[in-house]
Amino acid sequence: MRNGDYPGLEDMRSRFLGRDGKPPPLRGTIKALGEGDEPLQMRHAKRLRRNIFQLQQLGIIHIDVAYRQLIDGKFADFSTAITPLRISSRLRS
C-alpha cells in the first residue's frame, strides 16, 4: 500500500523516533470493556477499514478482523497479529 492511495495516512511511528533514532516499540492497553451486539453500520465499517490501514502503517499485520474482536468499536484482540519484530525473532529460531 502506498501512502498516496490513502491521503492522511503516513508511517506514524517514524514521527516519534526514540533517542536511538528508531521508532518506538508497539504497546497497547485495553482500557474499556463493552458489548459488541449492535449491527455494524457503514460509517463504522469505513472507520474500521481506515484503522486497519493505520495499523499496517505501524507494521502490525495479520490481525484477526472479525466483529467478535471489537470492543466499543475498537480492535481489541491482537493475539494473531504479527509485527516486524515478531517476524525477525521467528526467523532467528
pLDDT tens sequence across 9-21: 556 667 777 788 8
pLDDT, residue 19, reads 83
In this structure, is residue 83 part of a structural domain?
yes
Range of 52's domain? 3-24+36-92
In this structure, is residue 29 part of a structural domain?
no
In this structure, is residue 30 part of a structural domain?
no
**DSSP, res 61:** B
Burial 16-27 (b: 16+ CB within 10 A, else e): eeeeeeebeebe
In this structure, is residue 31 part of a structural domain?
no
Q: Decide if pLDDT at 50 tops 50.
A: yes
**What residues form DSSP beta bridges with 70?**
75
pLDDT, residue 1, reads 44
> With 0-12 CB in 10 A as exposed, 13-18 as middle and 19+ as buried, what is 58?
middle
- How many structural domains compose the chain? 1
Query: Against a cut of 0.85, is the pTM above it?
Result: no
User: 26-41: per-residue pLDDT in tens?
Assistant: 665 555 555 555 677 7
